[in-house]
Amino acid sequence: MDKHVKTEKTAPQTRWGLVLFLVGAGVVGAFQVGKAPPALPVMRPELHLSLFAASWVLSIFNVIGAVTGIIIGAVADWAGHRRFILSGICFMALGSLLGALSPNAQVLLTSRFIEGIGFFFAAAAVPTLIVRTVHPDQLRMALGIWSGYIPAGMAVMMVLAPFLIKAFGWRGLWISNTVILLIFGILLALATKGLGRGVSSKIGGIREPLLNIKKTLSRPGPIVLATCFITYTLQWMAVMGFLPTFFMEELGLTQGRAAALTAVIVAVNFLGNLSGGWLLQKNMPRWSLVATGIFVMSLSTLGIYSAAIPDILRFILCLMFSGISGVIPAAILSGAPVHAPEPHLVGTTNGLILQGSNTGHLIGPPVLALIVGTTGGWQGAPWLFMISGFVGLMLALVIRRIEGPGKSIGRKA
């Protein structure tokens, strides 16, 4: 069972309103992830994008996190988390505006890269502030709620996107997100005005982030959690990113209906996140949640991409794929304060874990697009998910060993 990060004597009372505001920073960031899949069918002919090139509109968003995740997390611990979150929102707004003005695919991809920088800044810094505003007894539930920021934001934007695209075009969708980000950034700055640097944060020289990275990488837990996250996000983003395209090409659905069904499928992942947080609160072992989610999501792709399966059953399998696998982010992200080498290194540890998440997001869609393009259809897709699922199951067993009976993984008061 997880130990508390803080003692009861110094533990804060949970400020749920502020927690939801912080989660909101992740949600509006995830809007930038969710706006792309519904826009791809409209964007591709205008900018002359192949399926493989379109995959990078989804994936390049995650380059910065995949390459420098632990570094950004360490710098956030050193420089201040609130500052990083607000800077991230500004970067996302700038990238979204540039994307709306893109004359070609090259500028669009550059804008997505800038958005990705901002998204990762915010995502790496939020959990540490949540830890500081939540009582230890409610921490796993709070981090379970936080783990749903991507599906929650994606689902909301996927519902809104078809209407905005129909009214203003995909460029209008990008401008709308710029406005949303700027307004939310102002509100968040006001709501967190009194939430400065934590007392446990250390203000040292530039060497401090490097030392924090070394400490974090010396522990097996953060590395295993980050690698395990790759096997989840690779599968989830590969499926969800192309689901509107898949529904339109394979099932003959309209753009609006394909986007709406995808939004429903993405939304049930958020329910899985909440369920994962609740199960962790009830002391369900982390490894068992990861293993169950990975097994179900990998196996369900055999039916999703099979033309022999009735369409309604394929939709149900998509719901299972997304919903049951939702327990995985809750299990993994809640491990950051548990496996961080020191309490003030939660941001660095979370940066490493999110580096794994972004790596999966980065490579999933292009690899799936390459498989589909090479084999001439979607039927070859399950090979990717079977291999990734096997690796994920093995890593879940490693987590079991690290967190097994008799092994103290908590933090002493």
Q: From residue 373, give the alpha-carbon distance in Å to each of 39, 171, 368, 413.
A: 20, 28, 8, 55
Question: What average pLDDT score do residues 283-289 get?
Answer: 91
Of the two residues 37 and 303, the one the predictor is more confident about is: 303
Number of domains into which the chain is organized: 1
Which residue in 281, 236, 210, 234 sits closest to 14, CA to CA? 281
Burial track 305-331 (b if 16+ CB lie within 10 A, e otherwise):
beeeeeeeebbebbbbbbbbbbbbbbb
Q: What is the pTM of this model?
A: 0.77
- Our CA angle for 333, 341, 360, nearest 5°, is 35
**Distance separating alpha carbons of residues 143 and 62, to the nearest angstrom:** 22
Name the pLDDT band for 5 (thresholds 50, 70, 90): very low
Q: What is the pLDDT of residue 196?
A: 62
Which residue in 364, 313, 413, 333 sits closest to 142, CA to CA? 333
Is 68 within a domain? yes
Average pLDDT of the chain is 84
Q: From residue 278, give the alpha-carbon distance in Å to each of 140, 142, 205, 291.
A: 8, 10, 40, 17
User: Above pLDDT 70, what percent of the chain?
Assistant: 92
Residue 315 has pLDDT above 70, yes or no: yes
Is 253 within a domain? yes
Q: What is the pLDDT of residue 12?
A: 66
Is 2 within a domain? no
Is 328 within a domain? yes
Name the pLDDT band for 14 (thresholds 50, 70, 90): confident
* Token reading at 116: 């990705």
Is 305 within a domain? yes
Is 11 within a domain? no
Q: What is the pLDDT of residue 105?
A: 85
CATH classification at residue 183: 1.20.1250.20
Residue 202 has pLDDT above 90, yes or no: no
Residues 361, 61 contacting (CB under 8 angstroms): yes
Encode pLDDT of 325-354 as tens digits: 999 998 998 888 888 888 777 778 888 898
Q: What is the pLDDT of residue 144?
A: 80
Question: What average pLDDT score do residues 83-103 get?
Answer: 93
Q: What is the pLDDT of residue 281?
A: 83
Name the pLDDT band for 386 (thresholds 50, 70, 90): very high
Q: From residue 303, give the alpha-carbon distance in Å to each of 105, 238, 320.
A: 34, 16, 11
Q: Name residues whose C-beta falls within 8 Å of residue 272's C-beta, 6 or more positions apart in sequence.
A: 293, 322, 323, 324, 325, 326, 327, 330
Residues 33, 134 contacting (CB under 8 angstroms): no
Q: What is the pLDDT of residue 71?
A: 81
Is 349 within a domain? yes
Q: What is the pLDDT of residue 411?
A: 41
- Provide the domain limits for residue 277: 16-194+206-402
Is 139 within a domain? yes
Q: What is the pLDDT of residue 197?
A: 57
